[in-house]
Amino acid sequence: MSNKRSNSFRQAILQGNRRLCSKALLEETGLSLSQRLIRHVAYETLPREIDRKWYYDSYTCCPPPWFMITITIVEVAFFLYNGVVLDRFVLQVSHPLYLKNALLYHPQLRAQAWRYLTYIFMHAGIEHLGLNVVLQLLVGVPLEMVHGAARISFVYVAGVVAGSLAVSVADMRAPVVGSSGGVYALVSAHLANIVMNWSGMKCQFKLLRMAVALICMSFEFGRAVWLRFHPSAYPPCPHPSFMAHLGGVMVGITLGVVILRNYEQRLQDQTLWWIFLSIYVIFVLFAIFWNIFAYSLLDLKLPPPP
């Protein structure tokens, strides 16, 4: 993350750019298919023309956007495996053996720390997996091509962890599954970056596409809320919580926005980065202590372990 342009270097580039009368990337002709793809990604994600030119000139596709593609392949593979084992692909979460999986987060098993992360490989059903996969490929892959795997994986994983911790604090009796925490962190950061740089973003039909993205996110969130309060197939344990979505959104509009707004700049030079990172760390520490002490102090009646 630190191998980026400093503020002084960026100012020098900006001053040099003012002296040049080069035409915009959109006016370039005779580009190959790969060059047009790189130009398209630049206009989809970057608000400043100088950053778009910098990205276009320096991008080599080495390494490729491996993180989002790998995560997606693993999620689909686990879903297909569970579908075969459970003999169910729609609403897998209603199967009586679903909660016995060692990957999902369950409040009775919250001491098993890996569950706060590995729950992303379990999905409620094909309708849950499908929307998450589409969003993280359409949004996550272009963002990783521009900002790199280190930054985008940080936002994604931070959203995933914040999602499970938010469930453990705000919806203490519920399990959680799905990659919505990470997906919502990326999509929320991208949408917020577009709104904050509206005049500079030159992506086509941005208002319509933002509306479609918000409708898809709202549909998925509404499905999660409905499922949470729908009568459980295995009482007294409720269906998975929807709080992970909100945890991901909070990461996206804080840490995610700072990362996306500072293309090729060192994050340690940004005051907001340290502020939001400190808030995130404080939340994580608070949630850890909450999980250690609050459940016993509140004398909460949890569902039996699977």
Catalytic residue among 106, 128, 239, 245: 245
34 classed as catalytic: no
Burial degree of 294 (CB within 10 A; 0-12, 13-18, 19+): middle
Burial degree of 165 (CB within 10 A; 0-12, 13-18, 19+): buried
Spatial separation of the C-alpha atoms in residues 48 and 305, rounded to whole Å:
52
Catalytic residue among 153, 164, 180, 188: 180
179 classed as catalytic: no
Burial degree of 91 (CB within 10 A; 0-12, 13-18, 19+): middle
Long-range contacts of 101-106 (CB under 8 A, 24+ apart): 103/78, 104/175, 104/176, 104/177, 104/240, 105/164, 105/167, 105/168, 105/175, 105/176, 105/177, 106/175, 106/237, 106/305, 106/306
In the block, residue with structure tokens 């919806």: 171
- Residues with a known catalytic role: 180, 245
